[in-house]
Amino acid sequence: MIREHNCVQFESLSKSYFDGDKEIKIVEDISVSFPNGKTTLILGRSGCGKSTLLNLISGVDVPSKGRVLVNNSSLSDLSENERTLFRRKHVGIIFQFFYLIPSLTVLENILFPLELNNISGNKSRKLAHEFLQKVDLNDKADVFPDTLSGGEQQRAAIARAIVHDPQIIIADEPTGNLDSKTRDQIINILLNLVSDKNKTLILATHSEDLIDLSDNAYLIENLKLKKIK
């Protein structure tokens, strides 16, 4: 398990894309550390590059320049398959739009990442039910996602993201489609998880209301990450 003081580090990181011959810069020459066991916010307007940074942390994407270090190892040194295995074991991802598999029950959705990590049988079912209980969905184990409310779907998505015990939890606008009461419930679940399990939570959001609840906060501005907390 990843236990370094700085769980994730950006070293002179730049990321850009090309639209034809035109280079579109997302971030340029940033060096930032994300401490282990803490909650860090990445704030900014829609389209500013928050999701791109999360993709770099999870190994879905690679930098144009510089490095992303996790546990002092560069993700760029890994092959695409090795990055997939890294993500499968060490990262839990929570999306704005849930992305639960509609043809699977809630329980089967939670079991899925365990199966990918070769955990099966009674152990996997015990873990799945344990995490369904953590998000207060034990009574929804055998129903399909389309019968759940938005808040319930996001709670199921959280259980799926954390059931395999990842050290890094990435949340991309996890409350963007939820009402304020449900949003508070989801945020409390995530913060309690960080506190109880010493997880590293990196949360991208446009909501400045969450700054006071975080340990660190950065704003994407002028291709840089500006520390605001």
pLDDT single digits (tens) 193-227: 888 888 999 999 988 989 999 999 999 999 999 99
The parent domain of residue 144 ranges over: 6-227
Predicted confidence band at 5 (pLDDT cuts at 50, 70, 90)?
A: low
Cβ atoms of 225 and 30 closer than 8 Å: yes
CATH label of the domain that carries residue 131: 3.40.50.300
Give me the pLDDT at residue 179, please.
83
Token representation of residue 187: 């945020």
Give me the pLDDT at residue 2, please.
42
In angstroms and rounded to an integer, the radius of gyration of the C-alpha atoms of the chain is: 17
Task: Please check the confidence at residue 163 and state whether its pLDDT lies above 60.
Answer: yes
This model's pTM is above 0.85: yes
Give me the pLDDT at residue 6, please.
65
Token representation of residue 69: 């270090």
Pairing of strands 216-221, 224-227: antiparallel
Taking CA atoms, 79 is separated from 31, 55, 60, 84, 150, in Å, by 23, 15, 11, 9, 36
Cβ atoms of 80 and 60 closer than 8 Å: no
- Kindly state whether residue 167 falls inside one of the protein's structural domains: yes
Cβ atoms of 64 and 18 closer than 8 Å: no
pLDDT single digits (tens) 33-76: 999 999 999 999 888 899 999 999 999 999 999 999 998 889 98
- Kindly state whether residue 1 falls inside one of the protein's structural domains: no
What is the total count of domains within the chain? 1
60: nearest Cα among 144, 187, 168, 184: 168
pLDDT single digits (tens) 91-128: 999 988 889 999 999 999 999 999 999 998 999 999 99
User: What letter does residue 224 receive in the DSSP assignment?
Assistant: E
Q: Which residues contact 175 (CB under 8 A, 6 or more apart)?
A: 154, 182, 183, 186, 187, 205, 207
